[in-house]
Structure 1
Amino acid sequence: MAKYFDVHPDNPQQRTISGVADGIRSGALVAYPTDSCYALGCQLGNREGLARIRSIRRLDDRHHFTLVCRDFAQLGQLVNIGNDVFRAIKAATPGSYTFILPATREVPRQLLHPKKKTVGVRIPDHTVTQALLAELGEPLLSSTLLLPDESEPLTIGWEIKERLEHSVDIVVDSGDCGTEPTTVVDFSGGAPEVVRRGAGDPSRFE
């Protein structure tokens, strides 16, 4: 049965955040809110967690997973960024964007696109997510909580608890969160390509 944590959206309880972070370090799969709907998350090197996310969402090996980062310093350790791309991404973060970029050696191979060797990265603008990332001290391997055969991501904590009771270990609820997935911008070819329009304004990359 999944543990359910009710977290204050503006002043997250440190004890609760610490407990969730400890769970993630121990291998837990968590459903957590972001600035662009809920996500599934686990520790970066958690192979079982990765397999569980693939199973819940029925993902193939071409899916771009996202590494959710606390700040730009953390993001810069995971992907290779040129100066022009750096400035473009820096101006849009934190925010509801996912950026696809060539990965560094810090990223486990099983997370990379099999042909392009790229990975998705983002810095969310969400108080609870930021508190969790700060406590965790490392990026969170994530994927949008969009179930198979459904067109809309899940956005309500208690509903997620009911529907994924036996599929996840922890559900974090902080009330309303974003209802749209991130806007995805692919920088792997140098010039930006908007590959999914979502919560972030795509016009700045078009």
Structure 2
Amino acid sequence: MLLQVHPDNPNPRNIKTIVECLKDGGVIIYPTDTVYGLGCDITQQKAIERVARIKQIDPKKANFSFICYDLSHLSDYAKSVDTPIFRMLKKALPGPYTFILPASKMVPKLLKTKKDTVGIRVPDNNICRTIVKELDNPIMSTTLPIDYYVEEYTDPEVIYEKFGKLVDIVVDGGPGGMGFSTVVDCTGGEPELVREGIGSYEAIA
């Protein structure tokens, strides 16, 4: 299903359809503040396995990130961070950043990496944050199963044509981006830039 959702004022009925789909173990493609993401509810094991199959990766080796509504979710899924790092998160989020943090016990076993870390995202996108808020769980998120991004993958209708059969809902929130989030590893003593994306590292460091 291709479901149009207004980027500024998401229709509650459409959001309800998406949330019910996720609660039933569905898989969706949805807009973020970077590229369109592929995701499911982090508590739905079969859906996580399905996303891994779509991407042709082992869930244990995948770098999935968690889309959260705001920083209040943080303490549930990441161990407590020190003040300078928390300050950095507050400055950067919502925004096009992924922060790698030490995972808490609340992170489902299937999603724990060998390093016991979790990637946290709070995108500056009203649609995906509204979905997460109504779901009351983070969405496990990854990029679409394509090797490189070209202009056409910013168009939800093209995404639906290519991947609509693999997922339950493609959420059309208008054109997506082509750039990725900036990844910052906060598991060592000092934050470390892993990948420079759309978000400026200098602006938050």
Match of 1:91 in 2: 91
Does the CA contact (< 8 Å) of 1:193 and 1:205 recur in 2?
no
Unaligned runs of 5+ in 1: none
Determine the C-alpha separation between the residues in 2 that align with 1:201 and 1:96: 9
Aligned runs of 1:52-71 on 2, under 5 Å?
A: 52-60=50-58, 61-71=60-70
Q: Distance in 2 between matches of 1:109 and 1:190?
A: 25
Partner of 2:71: 72
Equivalents in 1 of 2:62, 2:189: separation in Å?
A: 20
TM-score, normalization: structure 2?
0.92
Cα distance between partner residues in 2 of 1:190 and 1:123: 23
The 8 Å contact of residues 156 and 176 in structure 2, kept in 1 or not, is answered as no
State the match for 1:132 in structure 2.
131
Structure-to-structure mapping, 1:112-191, within 5 angstroms: 112-114=112-114, 116-147=115-146, 150-152=147-149, 154-191=153-190
Name the aligned partner's letter for residue 13 of structure 2.
Answer: R
Post-superposition offset of 1:133 = 1.4
Q: Tell me, what secondary structure is at the counterpart of 1:34?
A: coil
Deviation at 1:4, TM superposition (A): 1.1
Please give the secondary structure, in 1, of the residue aligned with 2:31: strand
TM-score, normalized by length of structure 1? 0.92
Shift of residue 64 of structure 1? 1.8
Query: For 1:49 and 1:197, how far apart are their aligned partners in 2?
Result: 30
Instruction: Decide whether the 8 Å contact of 2:91 with 2:204 is kept in 1.
Output: no
Once residues 174 and 100 of structure 1 are traced to their aligned partners in structure 2, the CA distance between those partners, rounded to angstroms, is 27
Give the match for residue 106 of structure 1.
106
Q: For each residue in 1:86-118, what CA deviation from the matched residue of structure 2 results, as whole angstroms up to 9, or x when unmatched?
A: 11111111100000010000101221211x100
Unaligned 5+ segments in structure 2 are none
- Percent sequence identity is 38
Number of matched pairs: 201
The one-letter code of the counterpart of 1:10 is D
| Distance in 2 separating the partners of 1:193 and 1:59 | 26
Aligned equivalents of 1:64, 1:79: Cα separation in 2: 15
**Which 10-residue stretch deviates more, 178-187 or 31-40?**
178-187
Secondary structure at the residue paired with 1:77? helix
Q: RMSD of the TM alignment (CA)?
A: 1.5
Q: List 4+ stretches of structure 1 deviating above 3 A.
A: none
Please list the CA deviations of residues 110-135 of structure 1 after superposition, one character each: whole Å capped at 9, or x if unmatched.
21211x10010011111111221121
Separation in structure 2 between the aligned mates of residue 167 and residue 101 of structure 1, nearest angstrom: 30
